[in-house]
Amino acid sequence: MKLGIIGTGYVGLVSGVCFAENGNEVICMDVDEKKIKRLKQGDPVIYEPQVKELLGKNISEGRITFSTSLKDTAQNSEVIFLCLPTPPYEDGSVDLSRVLDVSDKMAEHINGYKIIVSKSTVPVGTCDRIREIISKKTKHEFDVVSNPEFLKEGAAVNDFMSPDRVVIGTSSRKAAEIMRELYSSFMRVSERIIIMDEHSSELTKYASNSMLAMRISFMNEIANICELAKADIDMVRTGIGSDARIGNSFLFPGVGYGGSCFPKDVKGLISTSEEFGYDFRLLKAIDEVNVNQKLRFAEKILNHFKGNIKGKTIAVWGLSYKPRTDDIREAPAITIIKKLSEAGANIQAFDPAAMDNFREQFGKIPNLKFCKSNYDALKDASALVLITEWNEFRNPDIDKMKSLMKEHVVFDGRNIYKPELLKAEGFTYYGIGK
């Protein structure tokens, strides 16, 4: 099939290379000329496992091309995916300007039957709005479909190639059949396509992310109680996760969720609910707990030093919002590093993939230095603060840590270390919910 992808970021590029890999002819379009130039040369721009390899292979086999022309992309594609940013406004409502603007501009170039697919996460009713905008400018037949994306950064290619499910929201039988056909090559083992109406599909994405965010905030609250009650969150987690109705995934407490999706989508659903006259109180609490969890961790560090952290060196391991990505949008590291810097600490940070992004956006935070390796960050440090659980941080050389650090204190924001082991080596250990 001939496919167009508008917006070649995390979702657009992964979708593009995966559709191409499964034999489709894909044009990826973006307004960012520099990005398109790099992509044409096989440079994926983002850090995401497997993307570079798939990109190179599909460019050389001629199944994926890149363009800055909306016109060429729209005219040469049968199915056009909108993979555009939908960031939050200050009040939490969703900024749909790019999605609506591109729909308006694209409408002029429609030259035959097209399916316009929203892969962007958009509030209920957005497909109706896109349909209305396009119908004002074209006489050609077209359908607008909601097809929310559920990939996880860090495992995006695997998620796209073997999805748990593909949700397709459409009231057009013709569009549904074409979409089913397009995704059939991703369903070799079993059929996991769920077809529903547009509104239900749009809401499914927000409900999924909000449910996952709820599990995280819930576990963070339980962890906070554990600390006060001298209970161990790992024991509690194992105890509750063994209930088949609950399940044991997504039950890990930490320093709060971040990323481009959970914070934005929780706020987006609060705002959509308000538009419908509904006060979604639970969602507001999920968001509030999350904001507090990041601050609570920073306070734990400051409390250890009795507020006297000025001039001390603090090593930070991990800047991305989760491992195996360079994405730092809403990363807990931002809040925590800002708090430590405000208190006068010297921060020595290291991340395997996200340092360039962090330097570009937050390089001006006072007393923040970026290091060549995780051990380099430990030189003369009075504490190690582990924020992102990259695999390369899981089994550090304890002797090396001891010799590099000035004071032996570890704040483990992801509970990846064994407290007994570190304590036996003379470290003061702080975890989450322990």
Q: Footprint of ligand NAD on this chain (CB under 6 A)? A: 6-12, 29-32, 35, 83-86, 98, 102, 120-121, 149, 151, 153, 260-261
Q: CA 223 → CA 90, 128, 289, 322, 323, distances in Å?
A: 30, 43, 12, 19, 22
Answer positive or negative: Cα dihedral of 225, 231, 235, 236: negative
Q: Of all helices (H) and strands (E), which one includes residue 59?
A: helix 51-60
- CB-based burial label for 285 (10 Å; 0-12, 13-18, 19+): middle
How far is the C-alpha of 257 from the C-alpha of 330, rounded, in Å?
8
With respect to ligand NAD, which residue has the nearer C-beta, 46 or 233?
46
With respect to ligand NAD, which residue has the nearer C-beta, 6 or 157?
6
Decide: 12 and 160 in contact? Cβ < 8 Å. no
With respect to ligand NAD, which residue has the nearer C-beta, 34 or 136?
34
| Buried residues in 116-135 as b, exposed as e (16+ CB within 10 A) | bbbbbbbbbebbebbbebbe
Q: Which residue, among 63, 62, 43, has the nearest Cα to 53 in the 3D structure?
A: 43
Q: Which residue, among 278, 260, 258, has the nearest Cα to 269 in the 3D structure?
A: 278
Backbone angles phi and psi of 280, in degrees to 5: -90, 80
Q: Which pair of tokens denotes residue 223?
A: 């962890």
3-class secondary-structure state, position 376: helix
Decide: 269 and 207 in contact? Cβ < 8 Å. yes
How far is the C-alpha of 38 from the C-alpha of 66, rounded, in Å?
10
**What is the number of the residue whose Cβ is closest to ligand NAD?**
9
* β strands within 113-159, DSSP E: 114-118, 142-146
**DSSP per-residue letters across 199-228:** HHHHHHHHHHHHHHHHHHHHHHHHHHHHHH
Query: For 305-354, where are the alpha helices, taking DSSP H only?
Result: 332-342
The catalytic site residues sit at 261
Q: Taking each helix axis as running N to C, give the angle between helix 355-362 and helix 332-342, from 0 to 180 degrees, rounded to the nearest 10.
A: 50
With respect to ligand NAD, which residue has the nearer C-beta, 8 or 273?
8
Decide: 309 and 378 in contact? Cβ < 8 Å. no
Backbone angles phi and psi of 196, in degrees to 5: -150, -175
Tokens 């550090």 correspond to 396
- The minimum distance between CB 227 and ligand NAD, in angstroms, equals 31
